[in-house]
């Protein structure tokens, strides 16, 4: 099942990058707990409505000028880990950004029940209690 989770993570990333919120949300359990690395109002969003709020906040700040370029996935059984670079251009400032980030995702029955974005990849590895050297890289 864990290889399926990597594939599901890949599909969710595509939905995010194509700015298709309902397809992205279709990958999420209704009880999702979503932690953002840089949220405007809150850092934790709960449920589908909470994720919709997060996506609206992103839209307000970035428009359609934001996307995550996945560098690698890692299969951790019930969890997947992704390293990626977030590219964007501020909607109002025009400032361009390229930030390396990490995502830790916990899956249950083919849906995301927990999603956390880390501004520092080392923090994700520390929370998972693993080192990058111990991971098997899966190309995007």
As a whole number of angstroms, the distance between CA 13 and CA 68 comes to 7
Three-state SS for 90?
Answer: coil
Domain map (residue ranges) of the chain: 2-133
7-31 tens-digit pLDDT: 999 999 999 999 999 999 999 999 9
Counting residues of the chain whose pLDDT is more than 70, the rounded percentage is 95
Confidence at residue 1, expressed as pLDDT on a 0 to 100 scale: 45
φ/ψ (deg, to 5) at 88: -160, 170
Candidate from 69-73, 81-85, 86-90 with smallest mean pLDDT = 86-90
Tell me which of 3.10.450.50, 3.30.70.2740, 3.40.50.300, 3.30.750.24 is the CATH number of domain 2-133.
3.10.450.50
Between 57 and 129, residue with greater pLDDT: 129
């Amino acid at each position: 099942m864990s290889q399926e989770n990597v594939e599901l993570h890949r599909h969710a990333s595509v939905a995010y990058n194509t700015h298709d919120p309902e397809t992205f949300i279709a990958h999420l359990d209704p009880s999702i707990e979503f932690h953002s690395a840089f949220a405007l109002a809150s850092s934790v969003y709960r449920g589908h409505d909470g994720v919709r709020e997060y996506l609206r906040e992103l839209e307000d700040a970035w428009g359609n000028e934001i996307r995550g370029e996945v560098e690698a996935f890692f299969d951790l059984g019930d969890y997947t880990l992704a390293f990626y670079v977030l590219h964007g251009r501020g909607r109002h400032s025009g400032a361009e950004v390229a930030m390396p980030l990490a995502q830790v995702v916990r899956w249950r029955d083919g849906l995301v029940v927990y999603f956390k974005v880390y501004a520092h990849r080392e923090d994700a590895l520390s929370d998972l209690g693993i080192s990058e050297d111990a991971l098997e890289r899966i190309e995007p």
